[in-house]
Structure 1
Amino acid sequence: MSSIKHVAIYGKGGIGKSCTASNIAAACAEDGHRVLIVGCDPKSDSSITLVGRRIPTMMDLIQRGGEIKEKDVVFQGYKGVRCIEVGGPEPGVGCAGRGIIVAIDFLRKVSKAMEEVDLVLYDVPGDIVCGGFSAPIRKGLVSQAYIITSGEYMPLYAGNNICKGLRRLNTPLAGVICNSREAAAGREKQIAEKFARELKSRLVAFIPKDPIVQQCERRAVTVIEGAPASEIADVYRALARDIMSGAKPTIPEPLSDERLMELSRE
C-alpha cells in the first residue's frame, strides 16, 4: 500500500482556501517532506505564493495542442514544492470540475510527480462536492478531506454541503479548519468548534485574522517564507504537522439546515 498521503482541501470560494493550502505545502516542505500541490481552481492561484508568479495551466496547454513535457506543467516552488495548476475552460464554456479528470489522467502520462512525493495536496473549490470537483475522490486519488470555513453562515453552509457530498462518497473528513474573518475571534472559534463537533469531526486549526497574510500575498510569497518567525506561521506549521501525523478521520454527519442556522446565530 502506498505511503503517499493524498489530501483534498475543500471550501467555499473566497474563504482563503488557496492561501491556506499553499502555506500547508510550504510548512510540510520546510519539515523535509516532498510535496506536490495540485491547484484545481479555475482561478489558477494555488501556486502563486509558492512559485512567485502564475504558472501555465494544464488545460490551456492541452487545448492548444502540441507536445507537452513534464517541465511544461510541473514547476518547482519554495523548498522544492512541486506545483501544478489544472486551470479551466473559458467562462461559460464547459465544466471546470471535469477538467480535473482530464488533467490528472494526462499528468500521469507525462510525469511521475504524483509518485515521487510524500504528500499530494489538492486545492479544490466549490460549495458542493459536485460530479466534476469530486473527481480526485471518485478516481480513488484522495483518501481524506479537510474543509475550510469561518464562523459566518454561508461558509458554514458550504462546508456542510461539502460534508454531505463526502458522506455520499464514503470519504472521511479529517477535520475542519477555521480561517477567521473577525478581529474579535472568540465567538467565531466557538462556532467552528461546535460545527466540527456536531459533524463528528474536530477543529484542526483556528487561523486568526492577521495582516501579515495579506502582506505576504501581495509579495507573492507564503507566510512560511515571508514571515517565518511570525505567530501565524507557527499556526500553519502546526496544521501541517497535524495533516502529516495520520490522525484518524471519520465519515462526517452533516447538520440539518435548521441546526446550521441556529449555530451561526449563537
Structure 2
Amino acid sequence: AMAEKGQRILIVGCDPKADSTRLMLHSKAQTTVLHLAAERGAVEDLELEEVMLTGFRGVRCVESGGPEPGVGCAGRGIITAINFLEENGAYQDVDFVSYDVLGDVVCGGFAMPIREGKAQEIYIVTSGEMMAMYAANNIARGILKYAHSGGVRLGGLICNSRKTDREEELITTLASRLSTQMIHF
C-alpha cells in the first residue's frame, strides 16, 4: 500500500527460509546475501545489485538467508547482511524499511535492527493464532529492552487476520497488555 502511494520501500527478509520477498518478486526465489557470500568466499566480494532485486511497484527486496542447518548462526548472518547493505548504500533513497524477522527466536542477531538504531518506529504484523501472538510478544519485549538506549518505539500491531475465533478481541487485548494499539484489523 505504501509503494502504491509513491513511497520508496526496502524489504529485508531476515528469515533463514528466505521467503519474505517471494510475493513481491512475483513468486520468484531470490538468492540470499549469505548464499552468494559463501559461493564467492566473502560478503565483500558481492555487489549490491546481485542481492537487491526490484519487485512489485518498485519495492526493493533483499533476503539475508541463513547458514547451512546445524552450522553457524542465523542471527550472525543477519548482522552480516545488514552491515553489507549499509556499507553499500542500500538504505539511501528509501522512505521505509521493513525487516521481516522471526519473533519466536530470541537470538540477539534477530534484534539487530532494533539494537543498533536501524529502526525508529516498529509495527508488528501478527494474527490471532497462538504462535503469531507469542512472536509478537517476543518482538515487543525486544523493543522494550532497547527503547531507551536506541530511541525505538512500538507503533502498534497490525492484524493479518487468519479468521480465528475471537481474533480481534485477542489482538486488542494483546495490544493493551503491550501498552500499544491495534493499528489495523
- Shorter-chain TM-score category? 0.7 to 0.9
| Alignment TM-score, normalising by the size of structure 1 | 0.62
Q: CA offsets, 1:80-124, max 9 Å, x none? A: 111111001011111111111111112233x32211111111111
Q: How many residues get paired?
A: 177
Counterpart-to-counterpart distance in 1, 2:122 and 2:105: 13
Q: Report the CA distance between 1:128 and its aligned residue.
A: 4.6
One of 189, 193, 196 as aligned partner of 2:168: 189
2:2 equivalent in structure 1: 28
2:183 equivalent in structure 1: 204
Q: Report the CA distance between 1:129 and its aligned residue.
A: 4.3
Structure ranking higher in helix proportion? 1
Cα RMSD (Å) of the superposition? 1.8
2:108 equivalent in structure 1: 131
Counterpart-to-counterpart distance in 2, 1:30 and 1:149: 22
Counterpart-to-counterpart distance in 1, 2:182 and 2:103: 21
Q: CA offsets, 1:147-172, max 9 Å, x none? A: 23322333323322322222111241
2:129 equivalent in structure 1: 152
Counterpart-to-counterpart distance in 2, 1:68 and 1:149: 34
Greater CA radius of gyration, 1 or 2? 1
One of 94, 97, 100 as aligned partner of 1:120: 97
2:17 equivalent in structure 1: 43
Counterpart-to-counterpart distance in 2, 1:149 and 1:108: 27
- Three-state SS of the structure 1 residue aligned to 2:23 is helix
**2:147 pairs with 1:173:** no
Counterpart-to-counterpart distance in 2, 1:84 and 1:74: 5
Q: Which sections of structure 1, spanning at least 5 residues, go unmatched?
A: 1-26, 207-266
Amino acid across the alignment from 2:8: R
One of 81, 84, 94 as aligned partner of 2:72: 94
Counterpart-to-counterpart distance in 1, 2:122 and 2:153: 7
Amino acid across the alignment from 1:190: E
Q: How does 1:40-119 map to 2 (within 5 A)?
A: 40-52=14-26, 53-65=28-40, 67-109=45-87, 111-119=88-96
Counterpart-to-counterpart distance in 2, 1:200 and 1:152: 20
Q: Which sections of structure 2, spanning at least 5 residues, go unmatched?
A: none
Q: Report the CA distance between 1:40 and its aligned residue.
A: 0.6
- Three-state SS of the structure 1 residue aligned to 2:169 is helix
| Alignment TM-score, normalising by the size of structure 2 | 0.87
Higher relative CO (Cα under 8 Å, sequence separation at least 6) belongs to 1
